[in-house]
C-alpha cells in the first residue's frame, strides 16, 4: 500500500496552526530499553491470570495491579459488587487546574477453546517477535500501557495540571453490571474526569506499513425489536395463506431489505473524508460519494459496501439484523404464532420511537406485532469532540511516533465508553498497531487465537505515556 503523505502534512499543519500541540518529545531521562523489559513483565503477568468471562474472576489480576501501583507509592483502591470481580482505581494527583484524565482498560477477556491454540491461551508465550495469549489485543494491552504510564509519570516527578486516574475494570465482556455500570452508578466520584482514553482504536498496518490510526469517538446504540406474527392454526395438509411462519418470513425479508436513510455525524463525515485521502482512487471516489451531495451516488456507494465491507455500510445508517427466529412445534401443525428477534443498532441521534414506527410501516401487516425487546440498552451519546485537546494531542502523537494520520471512527458495536459519555465525559478509543493480515489468519480480538507484536506493544506503551504526559503535565 502506497502511503499518501499529503493528508498527513495537511493535518500536521492544521495541528500546528491550532497551537498548543506539542510536536516534539520532551525527553525526560527515561531508559526505554528498561521500560520494555518491565512492560513485558507486567504484560505477561496479567496475561497469565485466566480472567475469561464468564466467570471473569478478575481478582488475582486486580490484586497484582494494585500491588504494583502501591509498591510505586501510588494510592490504589479496589471496588467490588461481587466477590472475585474487582475493579482497581489508582490516582496521581495534579494541581487541579484542569479536570482529571481517566485511563481505562478491562482485565477480563472472552472465553477460549484451548484446543484451537498453538500455545496455551494463558501462557503469554513469546515466539518469533509475538506474544501469544487471550487478551493480548483485547484488552490487556491497554491495561499494561495505562499501568506503565502511571508508573512512568510517578517516577518522572513531573508536575500535573490534572489528576490522572487509572481504572482496570471487570466485566467488560458481557457483565458490565459488575464493572463499568457499578463504577458509574455507585462510585462515580472515583473516576469522574473530563477525558477518558480506553480501548477501541488501533493503527492499521498493511504490508508492514501504517495505513492510518483509528480513534474511536462514537458508537451506535443497541436496541432489539420483536416481530410476532399470528395466524390461524390448522392441519399441515391444508396450507393456509395466514400461516404465521409464512407471514413472519415475508416480514423478515421486507424489513431486512429496507434501507433506512443515511445519517452522518462529525465522526463519520471526517472518517470518510480522511479515509478517501489515504485510499486508491476507485475506493476514494466511493468514500467521497457517501458524504457528497448526490443521494443516488451515496446510496450506490453504500450498496457496494454492503457486499464488500458491511461494517462501512452499517456505519452510515441505523441497521437491522434478524438473529433469532422461533415458530412451529410439529411437522403436521400450522402454528398460530411465530417470532423473530431483530438486532437493531441505531445511529446516535435517531429517535427510537420514530424508528419503531418506521419499522411498523415497512412491515405493513396488521397480523404482525412490532415491539421493543427488553435489552440492556446503553445510553445514546453524542460523538466525542474532534476539536478537543485530546484529539489534537493524539493526532500529533500518531504523526510523530507512527507517521500516520488519524481517522475518528464510530463503532457499530457498543463499548463501556457509552456509560462515561452519558455522564458527559469525552472518551477516545485507542490501541496498538495491528496487521490487517493477522485477523483473517485467526489472531485478532475474540478470534480462535490472539497475539500482539512485541515491538508494537512497546511502541504503544511509549505512545500512551507521551499522550498522557502531554495532556496532563503542568503548562
Site for Zn ion in 185-244 (CB under 5 A): 199
304: Cβ contacts below 8 Å, ≥ 6 apart: 286
Cβ atoms of 418 and 381 within 8 Å: the answer is yes
Q: How many CB atoms are closer than 10 A to CB 194?
A: 18
Cβ 328 to Zn ion shortest distance, Å: 38
C-alpha cell at position 389: 485537546
Cβ 335 to Zn ion shortest distance, Å: 40
Q: Which is nearer to Zn ion, 58 or 139 (CB)?
A: 139
> How remote is the C-alpha of 181 from its chain's centroid?
17
| 138 contributes a contact to Zn ion by CB under 5 A | yes
Q: Which is nearer to Zn ion, 100 or 171 (CB)?
A: 171
Cβ 168 to Zn ion shortest distance, Å: 12
Cβ 416 to Zn ion shortest distance, Å: 8
b vs e for 400-434, b when ≥16 Cβ sit within 10 Å of the residue's Cβ?
ebbebbbbbbbbbebbbbbbbbeeebbbbbbbbbb
Q: Which is nearer to Zn ion, 139 or 466 (CB)?
A: 139
Residue in this structure with the C-alpha cell 525526560, named with its chain if needed: 28
Q: Which is nearer to Zn ion, 213 or 417 (CB)?
A: 417
425: Cβ contacts below 8 Å, ≥ 6 apart: 102, 192, 193, 194, 195, 196
Residue in this structure with the C-alpha cell 496498538, named with its chain if needed: 432
Cβ 219 to Zn ion shortest distance, Å: 13
d(CA 101, CA 90): 12
Total residues in contact with Zn ion, by rule CB under 5 A: 3
Q: Which is nearer to Zn ion, 170 or 277 (CB)?
A: 170
- End-to-end Cα distance, the chain: 40
Contact with Zn ion (CB under 5 A): which of 53, 58, 139, 456?
Answer: 139
Choose the stretch contacting Zn ion; rule: CB under 5 A; options: 137-145, 150-158, 231-239, 425-433. Answer: 137-145
d(CA 127, CA 400): 29
Q: Which is nearer to Zn ion, 294 or 376 (CB)?
A: 376
Cβ 171 to Zn ion shortest distance, Å: 11
Q: Which is nearer to Zn ion, 378 or 469 (CB)?
A: 378
| 58 contributes a contact to Zn ion by CB under 5 A | no
Cβ 471 to Zn ion shortest distance, Å: 22
Pattern 294-333, Zn ion, x by CB under 5 A? ----------------------------------------
Pattern 97-136, Zn ion, x by CB under 5 A? ----------------------------------------
Give the total residue count for the chain.
475
> Which helix (H) or strand (E) element contains residue 167?
strand 164-169
Q: Among the residues of 133-193, which ranges form H helices?
A: 140-156, 180-186, 188-191
Q: Which is nearer to Zn ion, 219 or 470 (CB)?
A: 219
Residues that bind Zn ion (CB under 5 A): 138-139, 199
Amino acid at each position: 500500500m502506497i502511503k499518501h503523505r499529503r493528508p498527513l502534512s495537511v493535518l500536521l499543519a492544521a495541528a500546528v496552526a491550532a497551537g498548543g500541540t506539542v510536536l516534539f518529545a520532551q525527553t525526560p531521562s527515561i531508559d526505554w530499553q528498561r521500560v520494555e523489559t518491565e512492560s513485558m513483565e507486567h504484560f505477561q503477568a496479567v496475561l497469565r491470570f485466566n480472567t475469561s468471562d464468564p466467570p471473569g474472576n478478575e481478582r488475582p489480576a486486580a490484586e497484582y495491579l494494585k500491588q504494583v501501583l502501591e509498591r510505586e507509592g501510588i494510592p490504589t483502591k479496589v471496588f467490588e459488587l461481587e466477590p472475585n470481580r474487582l475493579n482497581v482505581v489508582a490516582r496521581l494527583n495534579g494541581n487541579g487546574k484542569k479536570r482529571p484524565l481517566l485511563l481505562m482498560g478491562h482485565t477480563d477477556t472472552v472465553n477460549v477453546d484451548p484446543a484451537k491454540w498453538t500455545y496455551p491461551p494463558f501462557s503469554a508465550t513469546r515466539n518469533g517477535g509475538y506474544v501469544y495469549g487471550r487478551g493480548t489485543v483485547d484488552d490487556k494491552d491497554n491495561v499494561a500501557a495505562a499501568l506503565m504510564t502511571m508508573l512512568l509519570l510517578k517516577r518522572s516527578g513531573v508536575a500535573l495540571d490534572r489528576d490522572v486516574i487509572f481504572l482496570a475494570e471487570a466485566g467488560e465482556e458481557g457483565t458490565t453490571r459488575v464493572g463499568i455500570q457499578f463504577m458509574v452508578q455507585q462510585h462515580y466520584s472515583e473516576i469522574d474526569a473530563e477525558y477518558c482514553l480506553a480501548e477501541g482504536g488501533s493503527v492499521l498496518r498493511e504490508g508492514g506499513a501504517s495505513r492510518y490510526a483509528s480513534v474511536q469517538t462514537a458508537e451506535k446504540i443497541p436496541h432489539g425489536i420483536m416481530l410476532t406474527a399470528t395466524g390461524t392454526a390448522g392441519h399441515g395438509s391444508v396450507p393456509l395463506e395466514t400461516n404465521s411462519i409464512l407471514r413472519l418470513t415475508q416480514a423478515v425479508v421486507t424489513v431486512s431489505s429496507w434501507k433506512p436513510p443515511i445519517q452522518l455525524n462529525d465522526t463519520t463525515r471526517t472518517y470518510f473524508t480522511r479515509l478517501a485521502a489515504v485510499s486508491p482512487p476507485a475506493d476514494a471516489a466511493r468514500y467521497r460519494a457517501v458524504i457528497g451531495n448526490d443521494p443516488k451516488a451515496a446510496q450506490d456507494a453504500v450498496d457496494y459496501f454492503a457486499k464488500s465491507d458491511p461494517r462501512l455500510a452499517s456505519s452510515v445508517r441505523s441497521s437491522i439484523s434478524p438473529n433469532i427466529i422461533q415458530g412451529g412445534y410439529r411437522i403436521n401443525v400450522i402454528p398460530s404464532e411465530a417470532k423473530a428477534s431483530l438486532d437493531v443498532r441505531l445511529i446516535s441521534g435517531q429517535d427510537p420511537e420514530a424508528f419503531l414506527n418506521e419499522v411498523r410501516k415497512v412491515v405493513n401487516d396488521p397480523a404482525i406485532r412490532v415491539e421493543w425487546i427488553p435489552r440492556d440498552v446503553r445510553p445514546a451519546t453524542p460523538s466525542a469532540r474532534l476539536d478537543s485537546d485530546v484529539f489534537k494531542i493524539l493526532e500529533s502523537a500518531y504523526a510523530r511516533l507512527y507517521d500516520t494520520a488519524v481517522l475518528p471512527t464510530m463503532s457499530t458495536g457498543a463499548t463501556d465508553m457509552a456509560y462515561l459519555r452519558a455522564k458527559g465525559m469525552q472518551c477516545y478509543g485507542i490501541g496498538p498497531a495491528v496487521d490487517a493480515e493477522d485477523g483473517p489468519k485467526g489472531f485478532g480480538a475474540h478470534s480462535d487465537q490472539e497475539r500482539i507484536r512485541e515491538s508494537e506493544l512497546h511502541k504503544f506503551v511509549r505512545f500512551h505515556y507521551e499522550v498522557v504526559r502531554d495532556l496532563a503535565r503542568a503548562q
